[in-house]
């Protein structure tokens, strides 16, 4: 499968969070989406009080420098964001859960990571990527992990 890029976006507008993870086939498309979203931060839209965007690859690596977080106020109520991407067969499931507590985010993280590591109950899952961030954009270590199924060993050539 060709390399994919994931644009994670979270914003708070008029007190409500909207969030998601977009899948892009090219890095340029992901970067274009990143800047299209970030232009709404920094007072560009006065009803938006929080914006966090980042681009990751299929190994969970952040594509630098595309990882920015902005808060309109110096003081804010912290939230925890549990980013999760799973490839099951040819289908991606992805989202960002807004969690009130760190424990809630860690529980959701564990539930999502359980799909990987050759779990016999989910034999078609070949990738699981999870990360917990907070409202400053900081990754809550060690909760940042990506599992990709190992490539099958080639069959020995029978002569």
Is residue 157 assigned to a domain?
no
Could you tell me the two tokens for 16?
Answer: 């409500």
Collect all residues with Cβ–Cβ distance below 8 Å to 154 and sequence separation of at least 6. none
**pTM of this structure:** 0.90
Is residue 37 assigned to a domain?
yes
Model pLDDT, residue 155: 72
Domain that holds residue 37: 5-148
Chain-wide mean pLDDT for the chain? 94
Model pLDDT, residue 44: 87
Is residue 120 assigned to a domain?
yes
On the question of pLDDT at 60 being above 60, the answer is yes
Residue 1 — very low, low, confident or very high, per pLDDT cuts 50/70/90?
Answer: low
- Of 72, 147, 56, 131, nearest in space to 97 by CA: 131
Is residue 49 assigned to a domain?
yes
Is residue 51 assigned to a domain?
yes
Average pLDDT over residues 90-97: 96
Number of compact structural domains in the chain: 1
Q: CB of 149 within 8 A of CB of 156?
A: no
Note the Cα 8 to chain centre separation in Å.
5
Note the Cα 107 to chain centre separation in Å.
16
Is residue 158 assigned to a domain?
no
Is residue 159 assigned to a domain?
no
On the question of pLDDT at 67 being above 90, the answer is yes
Q: 148, exposed or middle or buried, with CB in 10 Å at 0-12, 13-18, 19+?
A: middle
Model pLDDT, residue 159: 56
Average pLDDT over residues 62-79: 94
Place of tokens 């940042």: 144
Is residue 97 assigned to a domain?
yes
CA distance 134 to 78: 7
Element (H, E) at 63: strand 62-71
């Amino acid at each position: 499968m060709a390399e994919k890029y994931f644009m994670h976006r979270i914003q708070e507008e008029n007190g409500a969070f909207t969030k998601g993870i977009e899948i892009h086939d090219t890095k340029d498309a992901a970067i274009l989406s990143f800047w299209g979203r970030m232009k709404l931060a920094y007072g560009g839209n006065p009803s938006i009080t929080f914006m966090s965007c980042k681009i990751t690859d299929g190994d969970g690596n952040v594509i630098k420098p595309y990882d920015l977080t902005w808060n309109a106020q110096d003081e804010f109520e912290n939230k925890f964001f549990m980013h999760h991407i799973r490839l099951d067969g040819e289908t991606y499931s992805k989202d960002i859960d807004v969690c009130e507590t760190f424990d809630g985010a860690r529980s959701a993280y564990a539930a999502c990571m359980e799909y990987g590591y050759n779990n016999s109950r989910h034999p078609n899952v070949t990738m699981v990527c999870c990360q917990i961030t907070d409202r400053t954009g900081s990754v809550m270590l060690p909760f940042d992990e990506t599992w990709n199924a190992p490539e099958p060993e080639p069959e020995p050539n029978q002569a």
